[in-house]
Structure 1
């Protein structure tokens, strides 16, 4: 009887050790280096995709994108995300009619916001200064503009 208990105990201990060793071996492969190294990104391969809806929800941004597609050469997806291509199209409008003098780069900087503020002040209820800061007044007027599309 004593031999049976001793055999069972030894067998159980051996099983536990084997399972633990197998788990450690498998865990070691999870931390291994990937087999193929990825090439480093170059500046030519990286395209900025900043999204700046200036407070618009996706539905409102889609309305703006439809307007940009119809009038300002926007060729991107109507996805409710005003990214670089949406803002490039908007900058074309702002450059032609609203005093924007910067590059057509899709970056929503001070000059882009100033041009937008001129548009919003003329027709969409913006009452603030042309300061290039997209504050609450600019955002509220931009919503009004979007919903008028």
Structure 2
């Protein structure tokens, strides 16, 4: 009886390891064959991606607020030029990108929340003030990163490399 229980445990463990190995082996092959990604809006919500640092596995949350990664790269270069952003320019607006955005919004657009890298309601409201001033946003200053906010943020992203530290041309 004991040998059957051990055998079942071993078979179960082998199955789990086999599934995990198969998942790792195919993790990324779908996107490799997909070809180039068309520019356009990306899902607005945060995207959780695994991040490994020194053997520690944690979750890195990014929120491009509808920007395609190629647009987000422009924002990151603007942040690097004007707002002391020294992280990777990878097209993913993670906590360090949002901290730099919050620093800009604090100086020029009335952001008074914590510089914590979380694009919450107060961050979005200050961003909407910037977008209203020079990037075509005509909606309410309500902290809702809806389609109008995303469209204006995309406009900002396309001209970010030619804007001043306040985000205007």
> What TM-score results when the alignment is normalised by the length of structure 2?
0.63
Work out whether residues 86 and 106 of structure 1, in 8 Å CA contact, stay in contact via their aligned partners in 2: yes
Give the SS at the match of 1:50: strand
Would you say 1:87 and 2:98 are equivalent positions? yes
CA–CA distance in structure 1, aligned partners of residues 135 and 58 of structure 2: 33
CA–CA distance in structure 1, aligned partners of residues 126 and 112 of structure 2: 9
Among 105, 116, 123, the residue aligned to 2:127: 116
Q: CA RMSD in A?
A: 2.6
CA–CA distance in structure 2, aligned partners of residues 91 and 129 of structure 1: 20
Aligned to 2:74: 63
Alignment of 1:1-149 (within 5 A): 27=11, 30=14, 49-149=60-160
Structure 1 unmatched runs, 5+: 1-22, 33-44
Flag the structure with larger Rg: 1
CA–CA distance in structure 2, aligned partners of residues 25 and 48 of structure 1: 31
The structure 1 segments of at least 4 consecutive aligned residues displaced by more than 4 Å after TM superposition are 23-26, 45-48
Q: Displacement, 1:30?
A: 1.9
Which structure shows the bigger proportion of residues in strand conformation?
Answer: 2
Matched length: 116
Give the SS at the match of 2:61: coil
Aligned to 2:165: none
> What TM-score results when the alignment is normalised by the length of structure 1?
0.71
Q: Displacement, 1:27?
A: 2.8
